Chains A and B, each alone.
Chain A
Amino acid sequence: MKKCVALALSAVLMASVCLAGCGKKEAGGGDSGAAAAPAEQGKTLSVQVGPSPETIDPALNSAVDGANMIIHAFEGLLKFDKDNNIVPGLAESYDISADGLTWTFHLRDGLKWSDGSDLTADDFVYSWKRVADPNTAAPYGYDLLNYVKGYDEAEAGNVDALAVSAPDAKTFVVELNNPCVYFDKICAFAVMVPVQQAAVEANGESWSTNPDTYVTDGPYYMTEYTDGSRIVFSKNPNYWDAGSVTFDTIIWNLIEDSNAAYSAYQNGDIDMIKDVPTEEIPSLEGNSEFYVDPIMGTYYVSFNTQKAPFDDPKVREALSLAIDREYVAGTIMQGTYSPAKNFVGPGISDEAAGSSFEEVTTQKYGDHFDVSNYEADLEKAKKLLADAGYPDGAGFPEFEYLTNDAGYHKPVAEYLQSAWKELGLTMTINIQEWKTVTADRRNGNFDVARNGWVFDWDDPSNMVNLLETGNGNNDGKYSNPEFDKAVDDARTTTDLKVHYEKLHEAEQIALNDAAMAPVAYYNDFWLQKGNLKGTWHSPYGYWYFMYGSLE
């Protein structure tokens, strides 16, 4: 009988044991320990830049964590150096026709894919057309390629209409609709890298999740992809500049939870983590392993400009001036953001090489917000509100602030509530899930809402254009013909000087209209072991690990 009980018990437990047993067999890909061990013998770097990426297919990617991996696996025509200047990538040089419409790129000799096959200009033709192809549904297709002649037709299905061509194996020619003064930056964008036609066409979207088919042309190729655990890159011996690449292996730890990342960093499993738990930041200040560095982007507040009383620029400006930006960035956001003085912040270049758009703004127009003298701005705010017909907030309707609860969004909302209380205004906080916030904000279903933008490429138009009438990201539905004209002029000019001048003009118009209230400039903050040298972080939010070393 005793045997019987044991039998019965094991009948129930059989399921677990049996399934666990099958598990072992099936999880060949999941059992990563064995696969990674040999690779870890060379010079290995272990990092964390985010959880499992949505995709590392260059054409489909629109996220920073995916782009970080893509720039280590692929190289486009041009690329960025340590100082964020454009330098030759696979293209040794390029010529621009006098009218600015034809860009001719000359590829290097002997380029090869990671599988050893030859890489030619035809690969660029295929890859660029793939980005334009509606069947690819590339999120950045329009943004990047609408400058190219024939894009409208290509997008409608006739992909071959896209005016990119390869007169010979080493020459790639692009014809544009209009001159674009920052097209070189677009050519350096991670979406515009070549992908291998054979690998992509034989495997569909899964080509980018399988080490055997993820054929690359950059410093690394993939040797392991375990969803939810890690992606391993190994040095690509076929890369033209393989000699400069230092690490043999890069392990991208796909960690969802910032506390888990922090623990792994502390016990030495990982050399660099991007997701630092915000509650640890006060204890990390002054720590030499803790870095804060600007990225191109602004945290701002959108007003629903189609809705009274926010249709009145005075009201918007009053609300905007009542924000103590120094306090928000330094205290509420624990110094991980910088106070916004204008709309376009640090990291964005101006006309001259190495110049900063924001510095030119300061010299030419003065900063819009005096972050060091908030009291003066607050007085101005009170006066503006009275001018708008709401002295001390009398008669001002109660309104709502829409935000999701992530990062510092909620503390910032609570701060704004108290700051606007100073003006005599009553604001309630409406916290919704992120997708709901995004949908409501886009549909104009809000009074005031949290907003933010991280630049896709280093040109002020990338963010200034958000306020243009009809722009899909113009959540506040701000509309001013004068502003629209300035950004349109900036878009169509061939003169770099005019381009930047017009964008400065547009930014000033938007700031004076308080089209939105800039709050803070984004920074990346991360932890990196003291012995990790030679890597750098760019204003795009990318880390360049390939030339670093662990000393």
Chain B
Amino acid sequence: MAKYIVKRILMGILTAFVVATLTFFIMNLVPGGPFLAEKAVTPQAQAAMEAKYGLDKPLFQQYLTYMGGLLHGDLGVSLKKRGFTVADIIGNRFPVSARLGGIAVLVAVLIGVPLGSLSAFNRGKAADNIIIVFSTAGIAIPSFLTCTLLMYFLSVKMKLLPSLGLDTPASYIMPVIALSLYPASYITRLMRSSMLDVIGQDYMRTARAKGVPAYKAVFKHALRNAILPVVTYLGPLLAYLMTGSFIVEKIFTIPGLGQEFVSAIPSRDYPLIMGTTIFLACFIILMNVIVDIAYAFIDPRIKLK
């Protein structure tokens, strides 16, 4: 397995390199630049700023400089948040997003897995129907709508929860609901269908026929097999939620990383675009490796090679 992990990590580094290279050249193809403002600065000031950040050099040379810095772990300085390095921004903001996203994933799993199982065991009954309706709605409702409705009722109308930031535990409630609604619904549905699959299997019948109690059959035999698709889904889910959601962070004014992914692009903050993209790529790769390892624990038949 160690060999497998090393192989995956090497592949990951290669992927990150390709992502970095493509992003670098694509972002430079887009018209405009970081110092282009509605009010033209004088050519002198423009030249001085470009010289200061090395943007006056030929593109390929800029690329080499950047990649050289990257090898040393230097992500450069932000061009639009003066005084912050890209590493500062990621270092300050990622923990905020990660904490929020981690809680949201936990909530999604804790709701989705039991509800999906419940739904499967009660197939066709009222409980199943209700769960299906809610999980379908949860998938269909976009998060900006959830956020807006939550904000309107819980914060503006009832004044129960703060509308800004993450200063108190109560501030987490709305963003976590908004972030976990979709994955919880999705996990419910995944869990339901895979559980239905599993409980129809011969070994389940055998287990029950041999007198294994229902709860034991479920936990020992069914759940373990049925949860595999959920685990697969958790890899990218963790990566996306923990690196922050643009919409949720914007609406609730959360100083997370999600906003930076998006706002770096219109402001042409080149180092920040590169830094956030490479960071996201690495994080997704890492999460996928972790999920693969988790597979091996859950299902001994899976051998990592």
Contacts and interface: CB of A to CB of B under 8 A. Distances in A.
A137 interface: yes
Contact of A16 (B41, B238, B252, B291): B238
Contacts of A269: 162-164
Contact of B251 (A32, A52, A257, A433): A257
A543 interface: no
Interface string B86-98: 0001011111101
A60 B227 contact: no
Contacts of A206: 83-84
B223 A5 contact: yes
A472 B82 contact: no
A22 B255 contact: no
Nearest to B290: A15
Interface string B66-107: 000000000001001111100001011111101101110110
Interface in A1-56: 1-2, 4-5, 7-9, 11-13, 15-17, 19-20, 22-24, 26-27, 29-33, 36, 52, 54-55
Interface stretch (A83-91, A139-147, A235-243): A139-147
Contacts of A256: 250, 253, 259, 263
B120 interface: no
Interface residues of A, number: 79
A206 B83 CA distance: 4
A150 B291 CA distance: 65
Contacts of A19: 95, 98-99, 102, 242
A229 interface: yes
Contacts of B290: 11-12, 15
A438 B82 contact: no
A138 B46 CA distance: 9
A26 B97 CA distance: 12
Contacts of B297: 4, 7-8, 11
Given A12-B231, A209-B83, A226-B255, A257 B250 contact: yes
Contacts of B94: 23
Contacts of B41: 62, 139-140, 142, 472
Contact of B219 (A5, A208, A260): A5
For A29, A60, A260, the residue with the greatest tally of chain B CB atoms inside 10 Å of its CB is A260
A57 B81 CA distance: 11
B39 A62 contact: yes
A264 B251 CA distance: 11
B155 interface: yes
Contacts of B234: 12
A266 interface: yes
B255 A30 contact: yes
A23 B49 contact: no
Interface in A427-484: 433-436, 438-440, 442, 452-453, 472-473
A289 interface: no
Interface string A49-91: 0001011010010100000000000000000000000000000
A291 interface: no
B220 A205 contact: no
Given A264-B163, A435-B266, A452-B38, A20 B99 contact: yes
Interface in A258-290: 259-260, 263-264, 266-269
Contacts of B80: 54
A504 B237 CA distance: 63
A168 interface: no
Contacts of A4: 224, 297
Contacts of A138: 45
Given A5-B224, A208-B83, A27 B106 contact: no
Contact of B82 (A5, A55, A255): A55
A411 interface: no
Contacts of A23: 94-96, 98-99, 102
Given A209-B84, A267-B155, A13 B106 contact: yes
A435 B95 contact: no
A227 B92 contact: yes
Contact of B155 (A60, A155, A207, A263): A263
Interface in B252-280: 252-256, 259, 263, 266-268
Given A15-B290, A253-B253, A205 B83 contact: yes
A260 B45 contact: no
A228 interface: yes
Contacts of A16: 98, 101-103, 105-106, 238, 242
Contacts of A209: 82-84
Interface of B: 30-33, 35-45, 48-49, 51-52, 77, 80-84, 89, 91-96, 98-99, 101-103, 105-106, 109, 148, 151-152, 155-156, 159, 162-168, 219-220, 223-224, 227, 231, 234, 238, 242, 250-256, 259, 263, 266-268, 287, 290-291, 293-294, 297-298
6 A-B pairs closest in CB distance? A435-B32, A228-B255, A23-B95, A16-B102, A33-B167, A472-B40
Given A5-B224, A137-B48, 11 more contacts: A19-B95, A20-B98, A33-B168, A135-B52, A139-B45, A139-B49, A140-B41, A141-B48, A264-B253, A438-B36, A453-B39
10 contacts: A8-B294, A26-B91, A55-B81, A137-B51, A155-B48, A255-B253, A260-B251, A267-B162, A435-B266, A439-B36
Interface of A: 1-2, 4-5, 7-9, 11-13, 15-17, 19-20, 22-24, 26-27, 29-33, 36, 52, 54-55, 57, 60, 62, 134-143, 155, 204-209, 226-230, 253-257, 259-260, 263-264, 266-269, 433-436, 438-440, 442, 452-453, 472-473
